[in-house]
Amino acid sequence: MRFDSIRFRIRILYSLVLGIILVIYSGILYFSLSYTLHEDLDSQLALKAHKIVAVMQNYLKTSENNHNSLLNLIKNSIEKNDADPCFDNMKTLRFQEIANLTLKRDFISISSPSGKILGGSYNTANNVIPILLKQKGISIFNNTTFSTVKLPENLLRIISVPFPSNGKKEYFIHVGTSLKPITKLLHREKILIIVDIVIVLLVTSFIGQFFVSRILKPVKEMAITADKITRKSLSARVESTHLDYEMQHLVDSINSMINRLEKAFKHIANFSLDVSHELKTPLAIMRSESEFALIKERSHKEYQSVLQSNLDQIQRMKKLVDDLLLLAKVDHEIEVFTFEKLELCGFLKKLYEKEKMLAAEKKINIEFETSIDTVFVSADTLHLRRLFINLLANAIKFTPLGGKIGITVKQTAEIAYIAISDTGIGINQEELDRIFERFYRTEEADETAEPGSGLGLCLALSIVKVHNGKIDVESTVGKGSTFTIALPTMVL
């Protein structure tokens, strides 16, 4: 067991808290028991003493009896026996009530207020009363008192009661009893309590350890699972059955984190695969074509065509690298964008003039249509131009000879809508969901057309997002597609 472990610390803390509670609780129990026992003893002593006093006072009420005869009577009866105080012979003398008190083991003594013994039971060893006075630090008895006298081998609890109780206090009746039974009982109780506490602490400590181990088990499993996870193996998950709510939550969090990691790694792996595919394709073309040209002597025109083709491929690679860099910037370095106020209609009109010429080569007619004069947006002109050029290039690419492309601008209170529609081949529903994915390519309209990089629409989406806009696409296979871009307008 490690001393810096949670398990150890919880166990110690748990035992400590329980120990303190048990000690306090047992202490209260012990002292209240002790108090009750002493109280009980005192009240028994008082009962006995007062009974004796009452009987004696009764005795004196008879005219022929006087103090001397009473003293003699008592002396005779309590000193007669060499064992316990005995009032047996007093039964006949109306001392029945005293006899009924169980005075065995008790001691009775009668003294003057100054402690002079006038008589006492044998078991008192007559010097108890002076010791009592000495221990109390007084010279005479005054009133009813309770005292504890420490004898070499015993503790005595004594009640001293004046007699007669009313009027002049001529004598004191002392009734005492040994505290040994009580101290014995309390001592036994004390040991019992200590043993109990130790046993309870040991047992709870082990039970605590068991529970803590059970609670911490998922933590151990998480560590084992985490150890298993490497870049190549992200399939491990933490077992999540029979868990406490908090642990369940933690385990779920960790599992979903691993899920995200796995997705991210997969995404990176796919991305790398796609990138290398797109970069290697032009390389493969250039190598194959150059090698083919070099197999034998070729004509001047053939060499020229190979060089031209190589240039095209170099251009293609450059574009791909540029697109990739731009994509990385759009996604991770938004600060490369510089936003300024841009008048959208004029901006699009310029683009339209330019694209009109390109489209004319394919005999495609582009129309620009808007009912508004000016609409302002906050935009990065360079990237926004890139976005519309990409969309228009796509429209031209997928629209057959003699087709039509329309650019329309509309505006609501806060949003400018730019729609680019074509009469091209259209996109089926299945593909519509995927065209904005990186490197997703659809089949070319023309079999001789060079495939795009698959990044165009992905970039378009990213650029629109940076502008807080939205891009939507609607398409009917065979009829054409419409890409609609919504951009928030600038409040002037």
Residues that bind other proteins in the complex, under the rule CB under 8 A = 273, 276-277, 280-281, 283-285, 287-289, 291-292, 295, 309, 313, 431, 441-444, 447-451
The span from the CA of 376 to the CA of 488, in Å, is 9
Residue of 450, 464, 381, 466 whose CA lies nearest to 420: 464
HSE toward the beta carbon, residue 269, CA cutoff 13 A = 9
Output the smallest distance, CB 215 to other proteins, in A: 44
CB-CB contact of 366 with 407 (8 Å): yes
Which region holds residue 125: left if phi is over 0, alpha if psi is between -120 and 50, else beta?
left
Nearer Cβ to other proteins, position 237 or 298?
A: 298
Largest distance between two CA atoms of the chain: 170
The span from the CA of 364 to the CA of 453, in Å, is 23
Nearer Cβ to other proteins, position 96 or 272?
A: 272
Output the smallest distance, CB 451 to other proteins, in A: 6
Nearer Cβ to other proteins, position 320 or 407?
A: 320
Output the smallest distance, CB 277 to other proteins, in A: 6
Nearer Cβ to other proteins, position 256 or 308?
A: 308
Nearer Cβ to other proteins, position 256 or 276?
A: 276
Cα angle value 185/36/178 (rounded, 5°): 50
Residue of 413, 403, 396, 421 whose CA lies nearest to 485: 421
The span from the CA of 355 to the CA of 365, in Å, is 10
Paired residues of 482 in beta bridges? 421, 474
Output the smallest distance, CB 355 to other proteins, in A: 24
Nearer Cβ to other proteins, position 285 or 432?
A: 285
Residue of 126, 124, 119 whose CA lies nearest to 103: 124
Nearer Cβ to other proteins, position 118 or 285?
A: 285
The span from the CA of 422 to the CA of 287, in Å, is 37
Q: Which residues contact 485 (CB under 8 A, 6 or more apart)?
A: 387, 391, 417, 418, 419, 420, 464, 469, 470, 471, 472
Nearer Cβ to other proteins, position 426 or 488?
A: 426
Output the smallest distance, CB 447 to other proteins, in A: 5
Output the smallest distance, CB 292 to other proteins, in A: 5
CB-CB contact of 462 with 442 (8 Å): no
Q: Which two tokens stand for residue 190?
A: 């004390």
Output the smallest distance, CB 296 to other proteins, in A: 9
Output the smallest distance, CB 280 to other proteins, in A: 4
Q: Which two tokens stand for residue 17?
A: 């808290």
